[in-house]
Amino acid sequence: MLQGRTIVLGVTGGIAAYKAIEVCRRLVDLGAHVTPVLTEAAHHMVGPTTFTALASEPVKTSLWRDSHHIPHTKMGQTADAIVVCPATARIISDLRTGRSGDLLSATLLATTAPVVMCPAMHTEMWEHPATVENLAVLAERGVVIVPPEEGRLAGGDIGKGRLAEPATIVDRVVKLFADRPLEGRRVLVTAGGTREAIDPVRYIGNRSTGKQGYAIAAKATQLGAKVTLVTTVDRPVPDGAEAVEVTSAAEMHDAVMGMAAECDLIVMAAAVADFRPIAVADGKLKKADGVPEIELEPTVDILAALGEVKRPGQVLVGFAAETSDLRVNAADKLARKGADLIVANDVSAPGVGFAHDTNAVTILGADTFVVDVPLTDKGSIADAVLSAAVDRLPATD
- Is the confidence at residue 396, as pLDDT, over 80? no
Q: Predicted confidence band at 320 (pLDDT cuts at 50, 70, 90)?
A: very high
Q: What secondary structure does DSSP assign to 128-176, as a single string?
A: SHHHHHHHHHHHHHT-EE---EEEE-TTS-EEEEEPPPHHHHHHHHHHH
Same domain, 208 and 306: yes
> What is the model's pLDDT at position 162?
92
Task: Identify the domain containing residue 302 by its residue range.
Answer: 186-390
206 in catalytic set:
yes
Which residue, of 178, 213, 244, is where some domain finishes?
178
Same domain, 202 and 150: no
Question: CA torsion 185→108→175→136, rounded to 10°?
Answer: -80
Would you say residue 396 lies in a domain? no
Same domain, 201 and 168: no
134, 206, 329, 345: the active-site residue: 206
Q: How many domains does the chain have?
A: 2
Mean pLDDT for the chain overall: 93
Q: Predicted confidence band at 397 (pLDDT cuts at 50, 70, 90)?
A: low
d(C-alpha 314, C-alpha 197), whole Å: 33
DSSP state of 88: -
Q: How many residues does the chain have?
A: 397
Same domain, 36 and 102: yes
pLDDT digits (tens, 9 = 90+) for 247-289: 999 999 999 999 999 999 999 999 999 999 999 999 999 999 9
Pairing status of strand 149-152 against strand 203-204: unpaired
Same domain, 98 and 146: yes
CATH number at residue 155: 3.40.50.1950
Question: CA torsion 312→220→361→249, rounded to 10°?
Answer: -70
Same domain, 173 and 34: yes
Same domain, 53 and 191: no
pLDDT digits (tens, 9 = 90+) for 37-72: 999 999 999 999 999 999 999 999 988 776 667 889
Would you say residue 249 lies in a domain? yes
Would you say residue 395 lies in a domain? no
Which residue, of 147, 178, 209, is where some domain finishes?
178
pTM reported for the whole predicted model: 0.72
Q: Tell me the mean pLDDT in the region 61-88.
A: 87
Q: Tell me the mean pLDDT in the region 196-202.
A: 97
> What is the model's pLDDT at position 66?
64
Name every residue whose Cβ is closer than 8 Å to that of residue 377 and which is 6 or more positions away in sequence: 136, 139, 357, 358, 359
CB atoms within 10 A of CB 100: 16
Using an 8 Å Cβ cutoff, are 13 and 86 in contact?
no
Same domain, 115 and 26: yes
Would you say residue 244 lies in a domain? yes
DSSP state of 326: H
Q: Predicted confidence band at 384 (pLDDT cuts at 50, 70, 90)?
A: very high
Pairing status of strand 370-377 against strand 358-365: antiparallel
Quick one: 233 exposed, middle or buried, by C-beta within 10 A (0-12, 13-18, 19+)? middle
Same domain, 356 and 283: yes
Which residue, of 178, 208, 242, is where some domain finishes?
178
